[in-house]
Amino acid sequence: MALLLCLIPSAKYAFNSQLKIGWLFWVASILIFISAIRRELSFIPKLFITETYLILGRSYYWWEDVFLISIALIALAFLVLSWRYLWGFLKITPKALYVSVTSLVFTQYLGENGIGFSHDAGVMVEEISEATIYLIDFLYLWRFKLSEFEYNLSPDHVKNPAVHSSSYSDAQSEVSEDELEYKSPKSC
């Protein structure tokens, strides 16, 4: 459920972002969340689609793999194109968040593979770890201040950083105005 909720702030930020690279970053995050949702719901096609079902001579699972790889490649391309925005976003993320999510991923791996847990307890540990990671993602996205972050990343603020200081000042970098183009109202 928290994974589905992560789509809401990501979509809101994609719509409200004033920077083209911001829009690319947030659309990439939406695509990543869609891929994660599909991974979590991987059991559904097995309930309704037989192994012998073909679409244009290929199995359903082949088409599904092509679709998911396409989504992943598009998301990766968008992240590469918005690398300055991504780097600024990564720089402002608290280090404690990295440590906690990494430890939860490690715990999830242990639970999924039954290392140190019985099978039933491992499944429970895995699911609780996943749900906690998704909840942390949602809460971090919900508390994120897009306008303040983009203001500190914008070329005007970089030229005159004394105008405004905030917790997002770490996201500043030497960028040109061409690299951070503003979207016109018509392009929204």
Confidence of residue 157 (pLDDT cuts 50, 70, 90): low
Q: Please determine, for residue 165, whether its predicted confidence score (pLDDT) is greater than 60.
A: no
Distance separating alpha carbons of residues 98 and 26, to the nearest angstrom = 20
The alpha carbon dihedral of 8, 139, 151, 158 has a sign of negative
As given in the structure block, the two tokens for residue 123 are: 């499944």
Whether 172 and 154 have beta carbons less than 8 Å apart is answered as no
52-101 tens-digit pLDDT: 777 787 887 788 888 899 999 999 999 999 998 889 888 888 999 999 99
Nearest in space to 140 (alpha carbons), one of 180, 93, 176: 93
As given in the structure block, the two tokens for residue 107 are: 């715990």
10-67 tens-digit pLDDT: 888 888 888 888 899 999 999 999 988 888 887 777 777 777 777 787 887 788 888 8
